[in-house]
Amino acid sequence: MYARRAWLPVVVTLLPTLTVAVCYALSASGGYIPACNPLLEGCTSISSSGRHGAAYWLFKAGVIPTAALLAVFWLWCRSWFLSLGLADSFGLRAMLWLGVISAAFLVLYSVFLGSSGEIYQLLRRFGVTVHFSFSYLAQVLLLNRLWDARRAGVLPVPNALTTLMFATTLLLFAFALYSIPVGQLIPDPDDTIINTIEWNFALLLIGWYLLAGLAWRASVTPEAR
């Protein structure tokens, strides 16, 4: 059954990626933000790509449905592990709630993006911070559940796939660790460094869902697909 649901992680990855890419192109062509390769040069933030003109509405139209799909993704992940025979443990419930809460705060971030006023800026920053951190924690817990299922002998997922998922979480952790001294300990840090970290962190975080989708497909026999 979950092999047929593997479209969801694909959409969760592609929808926000394409949305932000188009919003960035629209904002750059309109002169609202500089044109560059943000993954390498960090000339602007992700949020800046969705603050102006048509990109303002397109950003919300792409990100808010993504948040709804993310909530469904985490619900399906819990039922997937239960279908494999794992107990409904605290770790499994924590994974679900962290994932759902992260999706809710993605909506909060998107709704207040582009709004003026200090309170709206605070809500936007709070929303994106909680979304990133809770999404990462939910992904770590999902990976832990994969290892539990493998030890129980109920998860025929290739070692290469779980290794790649683990490497991605480690890389995300390294980006997060690096961003702490850059953003908090260095006086007046270069915005381009912070923006570059943000773009690459977001891309890895969202690309991780594709790997989860591959795990869904690999967890069933070809006859059951």
CA 167, CA 102: separation in Å to the nearest integer? 22
Taking the C-alpha atoms of residue 224 and residue 220, their distance in angstroms, rounded to an integer, is: 6
72 pLDDT above the threshold of 90 = yes
CB atoms within 10 A of CB 169: 19
Q: How confident is the model at residue 223 (pLDDT cuts 50, 70, 90)?
A: very low
Above 90 in pLDDT, residue 183?
no
159-180 helix and 118-151 helix, angle to the nearest 10 degrees: 150
**Domains of the chain by residue range:** 7-224
What's the N-to-C CA distance of the chain in angstroms? 7
Stretch among 29-33, 73-77, 155-159 having the lowest mean pLDDT: 155-159
Count the neighbouring beta carbons within 10 Å of the beta carbon of residue 90: 9
Average pLDDT for 70-80: 94
Residue-wise pLDDT for 24-64, tens only, equals 999 999 999 999 999 999 899 898 898 888 999 999 999 99
Find the Cα–Cα–Cα–Cα dihedral 60, 61, 64, 69, rounded to 10°.
Answer: -150
The pLDDT tens digits of the residues spanning 1-27 come to 666 788 899 999 999 999 999 999 999
Compute the residue count for the chain: 225
Are 65 and 72 in contact by the 8 Å Cβ rule? The answer is: no
What average pLDDT does range 156-162 have in this prediction? 81
**Whole-model pTM over 0.85:** yes
196 vs 182: CA distance, rounded Å: 12
Average pLDDT, the chain: 86
**Cα–Cα distance, 209 to 223 (Å, whole number):** 24
